[in-house]
Amino acid sequence: MQIFAEVGKITITSLVSIVVLFGLCKLVGQRQISQMSLFDYVTSITIGSIAAELATDLEAWWQPLTATVVYGVAALCIDLFTCKSIALRRFFNGRPVVLYQNGRLYPENLLRARLDLNEFLSQCRVAGYFDLTQLESAVLETNGQISFLPAAPFRPATPSDFQLSPQPEGLWSALILDGSPLCENLAAVGQTIGWLQEQLTARGYKSPKEVFLAMYGPQGQLKVYPRQCRPEHDWFE
């Protein structure tokens, strides 16, 4: 019976830990790992470690719970302060570092970024630049990612280069997701469920249940993806 009691306590504390972590993540923000600063990354690891202790500490569970909340609130306050203060932002997140510019490498900045030359060249190749002369500049951002600016002769052509003025593109709205019509999106684009059913009937669909996804374009286009659909060739089977 004691084993079952301990299992029950661990289950409860684990659920509490999950709820606390979820709440803190929603409170702090939704940035991905690649978008985190070093401080955010270390704080996240620490909060995760404390939350793991909360899930298994049956005697003094309130101690790791308090520490988790304190870390989360502190991280939130620092994020808010760094949004308002440039000085604090530079202190906690650092500054972007120019690694390459106008055909010149900066060894001191590479050393400052703890980035060796081989790794820098590898990042260039991953981005599609096998020749450094194709680059105008390379900047290490505060989240650890390297931003590359191609040289003018090697950048992709744009409509302005050909003196063209294409029509502006708008957002596509999902009207059906997994067979379920989205009434709010229909109202947002000025259409009704009756109009949607007419469009589906004209395309040979009896009901929205037969549609996996339906997208509505800014020019009134409707793109329908059926639920039962297989590729012509199953190359990976």
| Interval 117-162: pLDDT, tens | 899 999 999 999 999 999 999 999 887 889 999 998 888 888 888 8
- Output the pTM of the full model: 0.59
Distances (CA, A) of 178 to 107, 151, 181, 214, 230: 53, 44, 9, 9, 16
Nearest to 172 by CA among 206, 230, 213: 213
Distances (CA, A) of 165 to 149, 152, 160: 24, 21, 7
Q: Which of 142-146, 167-171, 182-186, 203-207 has the lowest mean pLDDT?
A: 167-171
SS3 76: helix
